[in-house]
Amino acid sequence: MGMTELGTERSTAVPHGSAGQQRRRVIKASAAGTVIEWYDFTLYGLAAALVFGPLYFPGAGSLAGTMAAFGTFAVGLGARPIGGLVFAHFGDRIGRKPMLLMTLLVMGASTTLIGALPTADAIGVWAPILLIVLRLFQGAGAGAEFAGAITMVTESTDSSRRALSSAYPGAAIYVGTGGATAIFALLTLMPDDLFLSWGWRIPFLASAVIVLVAGYLRLKVNETAVFEEAAQHGEVDRAPLVEAVRNHWRQILCGLALFSFVIPWAYVMQVFALSFVTKTLGVDSTQALIGLIVAEFCAIPVILGFGRLADRIGRKPVLLAGAVFGIVFPFPMFMMLDTRSPWMVGLALILGICLVQGTTSGPGGALLSELFPTKIRWSGIAISREIPAAVVGGTIPLVATALVAVAGGTPWLVASYLMGLSVVGLIGIALLPETLGRSVGARTPAEAAS
């Protein structure tokens, strides 16, 4: 451990306890925000797959309504880089803590209001318009959340535990997605008329309670000592986004490639696969949701395990293994889904979620944090992650639905698309340096690269 890192740990000791206490508080607060991010986004994806079509786009047919609902899903992902880059800019300029509180409020308020939004039967064309507006705000808040959480966690952790600590927000993704899916699955047991009239709104409105808990946890954490040290030395950049692109464009390109593989896999498994197996293959929606819930909760210990492994053998070996799996698994996965067996469907979801997300959540966050110096860290991570989230991730449910239609109801074009994206990810990971052991206290590009 270098002197910069040792200095970081000492400076976190004031005024609220030891570095270990700060690290634990930061992990809890960051994970809580990530739960909100993915609880909200999963709710929207599930509602887009199951209820938004008939409620907010009633004039369209079944396929057109589904694609319109997935189009609003894509709108939220399109807003992610805008919100992510704006919040990252100020997070690198004025501090991590205030911006993470702001992202939490924006996400929570948007999701709660979606739960209270009248349908097209009540307010006509204003219903889909307001749905899109709220989805834009939801996406803007969520766009900065994960990058900010990873920044704060890694700046509060020494190198020997950084991938594991980064894995906690990654694992929290599946607390949020699993919780949202479980609630939705229970609500689908209601009579259809009650579920469509008000039952689906309950988990959206409940977001307000979770936001209060997460906000309380975030108020208790300190600003990171790494950022405070940079600020004290006058090394906070006035234009961190410009600085990141100008001096770290190679790292950013590789990060874009990495997340162009990781994020589409997440949305294929959690959004498109659910719609495909229920609407195209005719699998019972409750059985499909149960399979997804099991897969999401299984992912939690798997992500933490791979994070620990990446702290022992390095970030790149674990990430490369995930990309190779992403190349070989798409066709077998859709064959498993095509059996229509609840057991095989569940196994396909478990493998797709656990082995792709498990190998990338902790190692990816740690590696990106270690690539960028303090003054542009949040911005560098946000650019690398949120642009692919919008361009490739947000569109993939819509693109995949269209590819299935073009292929006459078969998923093989989708499988080929996933394979291609996984190859892109493999190339990006291969071109990145191994960062195990690097200090996150670097304040200049030269220090970050050393």
- Which domain CATH number covers 99? 1.20.1250.20
Query: Helix 3-11 vs helix 225-232: angle between axes, to the nearest 10 degrees?
Result: 100
126-175 pLDDT, tens digit per residue, is 888 888 888 888 888 888 888 898 999 999 888 888 999 999 998 998 89
Residue 221 covered by a domain: yes
Quick one: tokens of 8?
Answer: 């970081």
Q: What is the DSSP letter of 358?
A: H
Give the residue carrying structure tokens 């319109």: 68
Give yes or no for residue 269 having a pLDDT over 60: yes
Using alpha carbons, list the distances in angstroms from residue 24 to 10, 120, 168, 367, 385: 15, 46, 11, 20, 25
Of residues 216 and 286, the one with the higher pLDDT is 216
Residue 13 covered by a domain: no
Angstrom distance (rounded) from CA 441 to CA 325: 34
Buried b / exposed e over 325-351, threshold 16 CB at 10 Å, is bbbebbeebbebbbeeebeebbbbbbb
Residue 193 covered by a domain: yes
Residue 12 covered by a domain: no
- pTM exceeds 0.85, yes or no: no
Residue 24 covered by a domain: yes
Identify whether the C-beta of residue 229 lies closer than 8 Å to the C-beta of residue 96. no
Residues 6 or more apart in contact with residue 416 via CB below 8 angstroms: 330
Looking at the structure of the chain, the number of domains it has is 1
Mean pLDDT, rounded, of the chain:
85
Of residues 256 and 44, the one with the higher pLDDT is 256
Residue 404 covered by a domain: yes
Residue 307 covered by a domain: yes
Give the residue carrying structure tokens 């800019």: 89
Identify whether the C-beta of residue 384 lies closer than 8 Å to the C-beta of residue 331. no
Identify whether the C-beta of residue 149 lies closer than 8 Å to the C-beta of residue 99. no
Residue 402 covered by a domain: yes
Identify whether the C-beta of residue 348 lies closer than 8 Å to the C-beta of residue 333. yes
Angstrom distance (rounded) from CA 62 to CA 352: 27
Angstrom distance (rounded) from CA 174 to CA 372: 27
Cis peptide before 330 (omega within 30 of 0): no
Angstrom distance (rounded) from CA 167 to CA 61: 42
